[in-house]
Amino acid sequence: MSQHPMKEFYNETFYMAQKQLDAVAETMNLDAGVHERLRFPRKSLIVSVPIKLDNGITKLFMGYRVQHDQTLGPSKGGVRFHHDVQLGEVAALAMWMTWKCSLLNLPYGGAKGGVCCFPEEMSENELERLTRRYTTEILSMIGPEKDIPAPDMYTNEKMMAWMMDTYSNFIGYAVPGVVTGKPVSVGGTLGRVEATGRGVALTAELAVQKLGGFGDAPTVAVQGFGNVGSVTAKFLHQKGYKIVAVTDAKGGIYDPTGIDVPKLQAYVREHGSVEGYHPGDELDLKDIFELDVDILVPAAVANCITESNADRVKAKIVAEGANGPVTTEADRILDAKGVYVIPGILANAGGVVVSYFEWVQDIQHLFWSENEVTNKLTYLMTKAFDEVFHTALERKVSPRTAAMIIGVGRVAEAKKLRGLYP
Ligand code: NAD
């Protein structure tokens, strides 16, 4: 592959995403020209996002929107507000979105966006100004036929309503299909808020069924208790799984007798964190990865299972709620140990699947019942899980490689059929 001059992209997460593509390209004998085109994003935008803080001071934040690929349709991907956001990371997340949409057979390419900031320290008014100004700065790139943002870390449905409103004000009429993950009253769909966690829980359950030997109440540890982590924990708890450990950014709890997840959710709603919850014992954040559990669900940040802790992972299944929580080196270690890693492009795809349903409903102005949404989600995720499971068996590769072979393969086929313009 040629050396690309845009070294701005080189950060650990982007390098990991690119290495995953390079490895799978070799395994599947990917056309060299298609491989070259998929290694970097199609379009990247860096924007300044100045806002007035509540204290009257003007502060500038850096924002990004990256479209990795649009071969199968408009690009799709969340917007995160986090202090680690930078171009390389956003580009990696956009690339994973391409494979994820393709794996789930959605008519989308991958994108991602974000603003580098400390959202926990900002007031609601400041966050609204930040969201609206960011939307304005990336306006030329987004639209229901072009690129459709959604929530991600530290962004939520309220912010999606602000994004929709800002875009609609520029266009002159309501355009609900410009973002997904909106409140139902402004064109959101039933079932979106819980979709990602529902999908993570479903894929973990499917893995338990396929692999067998877990007993009646498999034990689970969940890193991150935000949207994805808490909902995953809730659904697994409902199915009789024993959630024994949970961490978030502020603290962790460990209770080998099993945590009452609805009670913990109520506690977190009141206190903002799992920290201080009883009767669980306190748990150091990094110890969550080394607990003797059946299933480990990293549902917070990237690069947390690395070569320095992977060999101490005792879980038999790792379900990637987060994007990129397992580094390439750690992946190799886990694979060699026989840990079944359900890759993020499959495990956490429930969010984008239901986002797709929301977009379809917005375009058709015809809305579905929650049952319809959930049944269609379960069908698509189960189908993708089975495809990955069987491809991994047939080709004797890890589930991640199998998922990539399917995801990259569909994009590559479409790219070859469409050809290279001009
Ligand atoms: P969120 O903001 O709702 O929650 C993030 C959680 O992670 C919070 O509980 C936070 O306290 C915790 N956290 C942050 N740093 C931590 C650390 N070092 N140790 C332990 N916990 C930590 O975000 P979310 O929407 O739940 O997203 C979580 C992950 O899932 C992200 O990687 C995101 O990209 C991915 N994801 C989200 C969706 C979605 O629909 N929300 C879809 C696909 C993937």
Which helix (H) or strand (E) segment is 104 a member of?
none
Burial of 263 (0-12, 13-18, 19+ CB in 10 A): exposed
Q: For a pocket test of ligand 1, which of 301, 309, 342, 358 has the largest count of ligand atoms closer than 8 A to its C-beta?
A: 301
Q: Which CATH architecture has domain 7-176?
A: 3-Layer(aba) Sandwich (3.40)
Measured CA to CA, the distance from residue 246 to residue 230 in angstroms comes to 9
Per the CB < 8 A criterion, the answer to whether 259 and 234 are in contact is no
Ligand 1 surroundings by CB, under 6 angstroms: 151-154, 196, 223-229, 247-249, 285, 299-301, 321-323, 348, 351
Closest protein CA for atom 37 of ligand 1 = 152
Read off φ and ψ for residue 222, nearest 5 degrees. Answer: -125, 120
Q: For a pocket test of ligand 1, which of 96, 228, 274, 305 has the largest count of ligand atoms closer than 8 A to its C-beta?
A: 228
H-type alpha helices, 154-271:
157-171, 195-211, 227-238, 261-271
Measured CA to CA, the distance from residue 63 to residue 48 in angstroms comes to 6
Query: Which residues are the active-site residues?
Result: 112
Per DSSP, what are the bridge partners of residue 81?
Answer: 115
The reply to whether CATH 3.40.50.720 applies to domain 195-342 is yes
Closest protein CA for atom 42 of ligand 1 = 351
pTM for this prediction: 0.94
Q: Give the domain ranges of the chain.
A: 7-176, 195-342
Measured CA to CA, the distance from residue 336 to residue 331 in angstroms comes to 9
For residue 107, the CA-to-ligand 1 centroid distance in Å is: 26
pLDDT tens for each residue of the chain, 422 residues long? 655 556 778 788 898 899 999 999 999 999 999 999 999 999 999 999 999 999 999 999 999 999 999 999 999 999 999 999 999 999 999 999 999 999 999 999 999 999 999 999 999 999 999 999 999 999 999 999 999 999 998 999 999 999 999 999 999 999 999 999 999 999 999 999 899 999 999 999 999 999 999 999 999 999 999 999 999 999 999 999 999 999 999 999 999 999 999 999 999 999 999 999 976 688 999 999 999 999 999 999 989 999 999 999 999 999 999 988 999 899 999 999 999 999 999 999 999 999 999 999 999 999 999 999 999 999 999 999 999 999 999 999 999 999 999 999 999 999 999 999 99
Q: Both ends of the chain: CA-CA distance in Å?
A: 22
Per DSSP, what are the bridge partners of residue 72?
Answer: none
Tokens of 290: 């080394």
Same CATH fold, 195-342 and 7-176? yes
Bridge-based pairing of strands 219-223 and 109-116 is unpaired
Closest protein CA for atom 1 of ligand 1 = 226
